[in-house]
Structure 1
Amino acid sequence: MKNVITNKSHLNRLKDGRGQGRGENYKPFIQANDNKVASQGWLTRTLGWKTNRIHHTLSKFEYQYLLVQEWADRVLDIREQYPLTPIELTQEIALKMNIAHPHLNGEHVIMTTDFMLTILDHQGQMQEVSRTFKPTNKLTKRTLELFEIERRYFQEIGLSWKVVFDIGRPIGLIKNIDWLYDAKHTDVRPGIDKEMIELIAEPIFISIQNLGTTLSISKACLKTDHKIGLEPGTSMFIVKHMLANKRWTTDMNQTIRESAPLKIEI
């Protein structure tokens, strides 16, 4: 494509390794601290359960989708803000469609997809799938044009691509994952380590079970702290930790409220 300039900052991101790597070594092409990042006021940096790196999400919906993917057992790796490279491919697609390629101040920019996921399919084989999230109230003619470039790009390279809309989100599950998310690892709670958890988890579980189904989980945890001689808040942290690691279970589709009873099972 002649006489087309690619945005220099985007080229520099590629040189810096953005959009490359996997797992802990992946660097999102767009990051929350980039200048002039378009967002809906929900720029978040979240430590990933699966990758042990900071994930950069640019909207509330992206953050919620990230939580669900962290919870899903079949999802092995999450790469957000994934670049569609080489740019020449999206330029060629836009040219064939006779539409404008994404640009900034007359310079072409590298397109991104919200999430590139590595998953296990139902046959136990690893595959890469791409997912883009979009609220239905943000759909415009231009959005659909960009979606078509994205769809054709992934068709060209042989990967599954879908748009995920905000309708039908599992709100209860999302709220619950958000509630327990920070308790996944023990190092966020002073005085708690794996050995300590093995010692106190069972007594905490038994105590909460014995307090009945009418006491709120917050009161049950406080009473358990007092009964066992733990620092206030410890039992609640253990409940969240055991649920986050799926060692204890509850109905995750029903919104957990600390002011209400919580049925947990081993």
Structure 2
Amino acid sequence: MPRHLRSPVSQMNQVKSSPRKRARSKVVTQEKIDKRIAAGDGQGVREEYVPWIKVRAFASHGTSHIVPGVKVHRAHHLLSNAEYHYHVILEHDRSIIDIREQFPLLPAVETHAIASSLNIRPPVYPGTSIPLVLTTDFLITQVDSAGKERLVARSMKYAKEIEDASKAEQDRLLEKLEIERLFWARRDIEWKLVLYERLSQVRIRNLLILRSYALISPALVTEKNISRMLEVISAARTEEIPLKTLLLKMAKSLYMEYMGVKCLFFHLLWVGMLKIDLNSKIIELSKPLHVEEMNLIEFSSGEVSRHA
């Protein structure tokens, strides 16, 4: 039968079906772990660091975040709102120069051995006998007032999550945390558990506001603009006038548009050249905000914060 007279059905029946791709197995093998390590996962510093756990591979019920860093300029993979908010606190701390989230405790055989020494059932991947690669939520590099670097490790948990767990779940969580603590103790690195509920929620909300202005146009951040802004603040009773009124006054004095002044003002709050009490109340344009300015010498010398 000529091709043009064939029925559509007969033509469809002659179409060869392409072979289906074999689904990738989700079972963890030591070979897969070794390949990840060889590829650089969980290694590097600052912009070159690669988190061991990434958001796309983690079931987090919609609370995970991939956040462009404003201190370390790479994507940060944060697995909960608690991790995200703590990350913002760390970014604001001037003493911190590197933040490595989802840091793997390698080699896994070491954590396996620590568990065995404690008579704890070693964590393994489901359905296997392969040692689970445990992770610490944050490995942080700090610089002290003398310029010396040190590492600290922090794990983040919700207190409510622990309280609501069964006795067996609580016991297992505490066992894993003890393994983690001993892993870092062997390296003389301080480890602490951070409970989200103990963080200042007012501080977090303020830092989330200010973080939006961490990176602004260099054309705004000039010595002339900063000096004039500091002069206006020094002469004003900032605790007596609404913040928006203060910003409008600065815009007039600096011959700048209101939004430009607002960006610069919030940026200086973020970097610490202007000081406010971040823990007392939420920043609102309609309300006064007591502001203190730091002189350039004080600012350049830095204040070592302790939020980690």
TM-score (norm 1): 0.82
- Of 76, 83, 88, the residue aligned with 1:67 is 88
Larger radius of gyration: 2
Residues 1-266 of structure 1 mapped to structure 2, 5 A cutoff: 6=29, 9-33=32-56, 35=57, 37-39=58-60, 41-96=62-117, 97-106=119-128, 107-121=130-144, 124-139=147-162, 140-186=170-216, 192-194=217-219, 197-206=222-231, 210=236, 213-222=239-248, 224-225=250-251, 230-255=256-281, 256-266=283-293
Percent identity between the two aligned chains:
28
Distance in structure 2 (CA, Å) of the matches to 1:196 and 1:147: 44
Deviations 1:153-180 (A, max 9, x none): 2223332211111242122222221111
Deviations 1:17-69 (A, max 9, x none): 11111112111111223x2x043532222233332222221111111211222
Distance in structure 1 (CA, Å) of the matches to 2:221 and 2:120: 63
Tell me if the contact between 1:216 and 1:261 (Cα under 8 Å) persists in the aligned partners: yes
In structure 2, do the counterparts of structure 1 residues 259 and 95 end up closer, same or farther at CA, with 3 Å as the change threshold? same
In structure 2, do the counterparts of structure 1 residues 225 and 123 end up closer, same or farther at CA, with 3 Å as the change threshold? closer
Deviation at 1:108, TM superposition (A): 3.9
Tell me if the contact between 1:114 and 1:133 (Cα under 8 Å) persists in the aligned partners: yes
SS at the partner of 1:78?
Answer: strand
SS at the partner of 1:77?
Answer: strand
Tell me if the contact between 1:128 and 1:160 (Cα under 8 Å) persists in the aligned partners: yes
Which residue identity does 1:150 align to in structure 2?
E
SS at the partner of 2:102?
Answer: strand
Tell me if the contact between 2:238 and 2:291 (Cα under 8 Å) persists in the aligned partners: no
Which residue identity does 2:191 align to in structure 1?
W
In structure 2, do the counterparts of structure 1 residues 230 and 123 end up closer, same or farther at CA, with 3 Å as the change threshold? closer
Tell me if the contact between 2:41 and 2:52 (Cα under 8 Å) persists in the aligned partners: yes
Look up the match of 1:189.
none
Distance in structure 2 (CA, Å) of the matches to 1:167 and 1:142: 21
Which residue identity does 2:180 align to in structure 1?
E
Distance in structure 2 (CA, Å) of the matches to 1:62 and 1:252: 19
Across the aligned residues of Structure 1 and Structure 2, the Cα RMSD in angstroms comes to 2.7
Tell me if the contact between 1:24 and 1:51 (Cα under 8 Å) persists in the aligned partners: yes
Which residue identity does 2:267 align to in structure 1?
H
Deviation at 1:237, TM superposition (A): 0.8
Distance in structure 1 (CA, Å) of the matches to 2:182 and 2:102: 18
In structure 2, do the counterparts of structure 1 residues 196 and 69 end up closer, same or farther at CA, with 3 Å as the change threshold? closer
Distance in structure 2 (CA, Å) of the matches to 1:248 and 1:121: 21
Distance in structure 2 (CA, Å) of the matches to 1:86 and 1:136: 29
Which residue identity does 2:36 align to in structure 1?
R
Which residue identity does 1:99 align to in structure 2?
R
Deviation at 1:241, TM superposition (A): 0.8
SS at the partner of 1:129?
Answer: strand
In structure 2, do the counterparts of structure 1 residues 109 and 6 end up closer, same or farther at CA, with 3 Å as the change threshold? farther
Deviations 1:203-246 (A, max 9, x none): 44555665864442234435654675544422211111111121
Q: Give 5+ residue unaligned stretches, structure 1.
A: 187-191
Which residue identity does 1:245 align to in structure 2?
V
In structure 2, do the counterparts of structure 1 residues 196 and 165 end up closer, same or farther at CA, with 3 Å as the change threshold? closer
Which residue identity does 2:213 align to in structure 1?
A
Tell me if the contact between 1:102 and 1:111 (Cα under 8 Å) persists in the aligned partners: no
How many residue pairs match? The answer is: 255
Distance in structure 1 (CA, Å) of the matches to 2:173 and 2:83: 17
SS at the partner of 2:279?
Answer: coil
Distance in structure 2 (CA, Å) of the matches to 1:206 and 1:169: 34
Which residue identity does 2:100 align to in structure 1?
R
Tell me if the contact between 2:238 and 2:290 (Cα under 8 Å) persists in the aligned partners: no
Deviation at 1:258, TM superposition (A): 2.5
